[in-house]
Structure formats: structure tokens, C-alpha cells
């Protein structure tokens, strides 16, 4: 199996349970791994034989910067389900890590995140 990685995509969204999160918004970072066969793309040098990661970036941006969700789990799930739906002919599985660097939690920490895998990786 081959993989395409989109690392630490950064977007500004309004997801969260607390009112200030949905009012003020915050930065979210997303890392995506796509499981797909890249052999033909490597042999032909043809974009049509692979997954256009610029399109995946835009799909992710649309979700993270779009409709607010209470939970980052829901945002990650929406990203994964859209990728598998839109690229079902080329992607057999995906992993989505969604990082919330600055949630309004008292204390010291680097970030909070969810990491989900859907399909075959």
C-alpha cells in the first residue's frame, strides 16, 4: 500500500462547546494520510492517476472553516467521510488527525487532538 500525507494543514474555525470558541474561533491543524495505489501515477507522471492533494486541501478547508461543530471528533469524522466518498475509486482508507492547539482549558499542555482511521490503512 502507498500513502499520500498532507501534514499540518492550518485553518481557522469556530468549533467547540464553549460560547467563546464559537464566537471568537481558533486555529486548527489537520494531518491527513490517504491509502492508495500510487504505482500507475509514478509510472505515467499523470495527475489523473493519483489523488490531487490540492483538492483534498480545499475539501478539508471547506469543512474546518465551514459549519461549526461542538466536537472536534465530528469535524474529523466529516473530513474522513467526505474523502472516502469523494475519492472512493482511488482511496481505500484515510487517517485524520485534528489538533486544537489552544482550547480554553486551564493548565499547561501543548494541544489536544483526535486521531481517527476509516477504511483500510
DSSP letter assigned to residue 111:
-
Of 91, 87, 109, 89, nearest to 99 (Cα)? 109
Backbone Cα Rg of the chain: 15
Helix, strand, coil percent content, the chain, rounded in steps of 5: 35, 30, 35
Q: Which of 39, 67, 78, 100 is catalytic?
A: 100
Find out whether 60 and 79 touch, Cβ atoms under 8 Å. Answer: yes
Catalytic-residue membership of 61: no
Task: Point out the residues that are catalytic.
Answer: 100
Amino acid at each position: 500500500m502507498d500513502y499520500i500525507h498532507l501534514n499540518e494543514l492550518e485553518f481557522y474555525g469556530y468549533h467547540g462547546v464553549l460560547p467563546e470558541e464559537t464566537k471568537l474561533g481558533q486555529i486548527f491543524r489537520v494531518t491527513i494520510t490517504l491509502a492508495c495505489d500510487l504505482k500507475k501515477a509514478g509510472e505515467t507522471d499523470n495527475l489523473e492517476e493519483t489523488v490531487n492533494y490540492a483538492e483534498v486541501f480545499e475539501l478539508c478547508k471547506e469543512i474546518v472553516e465551514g459549519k461549526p461543530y461542538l466536537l472536534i471528533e465530528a469535524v474529523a469524522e466529516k473530513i474522513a467521510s467526505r474523502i472516502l466518498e469523494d475519492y472512493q475509486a482511488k482511496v481505500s482508507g484515510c487517517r485524520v488527525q485534528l489538533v486544537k492547539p489552544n482550547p480554553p482549558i486551564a493548565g499547561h499542555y501543548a494541544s489536544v487532538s483526535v486521531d481517527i482511521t476509516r477504511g483500510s490503512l
